[in-house]
Amino acid sequence: MAQIEHPAVTNFRNYIRIKTVQPNPDYASCTKFLEGQAKELGADCQVVECVPGKPIVLMTVVGQDPDLPSLLLNSHTDVVPVFPEHWKYDPFSAHKDEKGDIYGRGTQDMKCVGIQYLEALKYLKKEGHKFLRTIHLSFMPDEEIGGIDGMAEFIETDIFKKLKVGFALDEGYANPTEKYTVFYGERTVLWVYVKCPGQPGHGSQFLPNTAGEKLQRVINSFLNFRSQQKQLLKEDKDLNLGDVTSVNLTMLQGGVQFNVVPSELCVGFDVRVTPTIGENKFEDMIKSWCKEAGDDVTYEFKHIAPGSHSESKDEYPNLTCVEDGKNPWWDAFSQACKDEGIKLVKQIFPAATDCRFLRKVNIPALGFSPMNKTPILLHHHNEFLNEKIFMRGVEIYTTIIPTLANLKI
């Protein structure tokens, strides 16, 4: 006899089936689905469009003292593209196999967390729980392409400011061990574009001061630093990816034909700067590398997301205090995890999330996706999450959410 599926799992699978895949996410169907979830929860709901066609679904459970700083439970609705030919099952079918593994784009990143918030709150309200602080659930668009038309715009609005957010939870990722990972910061994203001008001429000559020679020096400097950081991570077993700075050459541009030495060559790098180095120090390094390559070699920063109205590098406070006794929000979160028997691993997130925008306005935020004993498959083919792990995450939030929402400080 087939086992009856828990309604929370069914809800999760239905969410996965909504094709909010970039670059053309079905936000209309997603919004309709989430509005139904808000009605089921009994939460106030509004849809905010800071940018037309990019809906933010905002749900609110009003607390007993709405004047206190609120708790924000954030997630994003969009998912990254798929290559269906590499998947065992249709990536939007939410297929569940005999082991209970649910396959689909967004199962880990991060539709699971959005539904876990909702299902935990449904359970808590059904059990008669009251919350001292107001709880907001935000479902954001476009996080997977930088969040520029999502959270970056939202934090500037009066609507956001009126939420009076005191603390926020957002996404993390899975941990393949028995432990759970919590992220208290993330690396700064720098997209660096270096221009190397030089003496043009015929390809048969040994011309001085060529763009190619300067480009070589620039590339060597960046990639030598990359090798140092890679070796540091390899040799120190206590370090994680977020503790070092990654550098990857991602763009090369220039040249007109084989027998013409170009007047300019350009190179682009994707750099993720760890807070222990900091972007200002890293920029000083870039300046020195460019000067060593040639006095006329220049660089500029491109924003994290294409189409941004800004091309400045991120300058956000990247860390939330996770030292016991120094941050009451951390103490509450940590205690709730202890109450659930959870062992936490504290790390710096190696990529970028909407947390960075929250920290920009001095809101402490933690990245946490309650998935243990699970391979890290965000953005991978055959992304999946086991239904038992998913349901355990709901249980965990039934402890974490009231602990944070009832914090007295």
Residues with catalytic function = 78, 143
The rounded radius of gyration (Å) of the Cα atoms in the chain is: 23
Residues 37 and 116 sit within 8 Å (Cβ to Cβ) = no
> Is residue 297 within 8 Å of 291, Cβ to Cβ?
yes
Give residue for tokens 């996965």. Answer: 16
The Cα–Cα gap between 346 and 344 comes to: 6
CA atoms within 13 A on the CB side of 302: 16
Q: Any idea which residue has 């995450």 for tokens? A: 393
The CA distance from 48 to 153, in Å, is 11
Minimal CA–CA distance to 389: which of 86, 6, 82?
A: 6
Residue with tokens 């069914």: 10
Among candidate residues 26, 121, 144, 9, the one with its CA nearest the CA of residue 75: 144
What is the residue type of 185? G
